[in-house]
Amino acid sequence: MSLTFYYSPFSSASTVHAVLEELGIPYEKVRIDLQKGETKKPEFLALNPNGVVPLLVQDGAPIFESVAIILHLGESYGEKKGLFPAAGLERAKAFQWLVWCNVTLGEALSRHQRNTSERIPKEQHNAKAAEIAKADVEARLSILDQALTGKNFIVGSSFSLVDSHLVGWAHYVEMCGFALAKYPTLQAYVKAGIARPAYVKVMKPDA
């Protein structure tokens, strides 16, 4: 069995990278330079026609979308290692939070970035849309903050790959300018998560 992970540091690949490190399974890394347009080269597009990282190739079969990769790794390796819930309602909660993170929180953040980021030409920014997106991101951070009330982990009673993904995302939201101080439970959760060796390792520039 072979696993090849295509990634770029500080990108959507980072949470998958942290998940692979949490699992401690053998995998080969292929670092992709986004600035050089390496995801748009024919050999990469043949594996992922979306032209984005992350991409995991298992025994020659490419799998794209970070959440799909994490779900697959969770089912294949995480459960045995106590890092992913067994099939049943707890696993359904794992699916729920992973999908919520990318689809619901991610949607609002992407709308916010679209209307505020320096990487998007100013004439394409819309102040009202940015204001609405900001309120939406904040409302979604509150949902996560409340869901964590009284617990250290989002699903079950121990750290899981779901926490790894949520921590990475919430940390990224913070880096985009959203102060987590308004969400004390979430802030403590992120602080603990980013101190984990797997996360520290993938956040190094030479990761």
Ligand X SMILES: N[C@@H](CCC(=O)N[C@@H](CS)C(=O)NCC(=O)O)C(=O)O
Residue with smaller CB distance to ligand X, 73 or 156: 73
Contacts with 171 (C-beta within 8 Å, 6 or more apart), sequence order: 190, 193, 194
- Half-sphere exposure for 168 (CA within 13 Å, toward CB): 30
Which lies closer to ligand X via its Cβ, residue 39 or residue 116?
A: 39
Considering beta carbons, is residue 39 or 115 the nearer one to ligand X?
39
Separation between Cα atoms, residue 197 and residue 165, nearest integer Å: 14
Distance CA 109, CA 58 (A): 31
**Residue (of 27, 14, 3, 4) closest to 198 by Cα position:** 14
Q: For the CB of residue 28, give the shortest distance to ligand X in the complex, in Å.
A: 19
Site string for ligand X, 92-111 (x = CB under 6 A): ----------x---------
Using CB under 6 A as the binding criterion, the count of chain residues that bind ligand X stands at 11
Q: Is 66 in the site for ligand X (CB under 6 A)?
A: yes
- Minimum distance between the CB of residue 87 and ligand X, rounded to whole angstroms? 24
Strands (E), 71-139: none
Q: Answer whether 84's CB lies under 8 Å from 75's CB.
A: yes
CA 22 to chain CA centroid, Å, is 14
Of residues 3 through 62, those in contact with ligand X by CB under 6 A are 11-12, 34, 39, 51-54
Q: Which is nearer to ligand X, 102 or 116 (CB)?
A: 102
3-class secondary-structure state, position 49: coil
Q: How far is the CB of 185 from ligand X (least distance, A)?
A: 25
The reply to whether 70 sits near ligand X by the rule CB under 6 A is no
Nearer to ligand X (CB atom), residue 101 or residue 156: 101
How many Cα atoms sit within 13 Å of 53 on the Cβ side? 25
85 forms part of the interface with ligand X (CB under 6 A): no
**65 makes contact with ligand X (CB under 6 A):** yes
CB of 48 to ligand X, least distance (A): 9
Residue length, the chain?
A: 207
Q: Which residues contribute to the site for ligand X (CB under 6 A)?
A: 11-12, 34, 39, 51-54, 65-66, 102
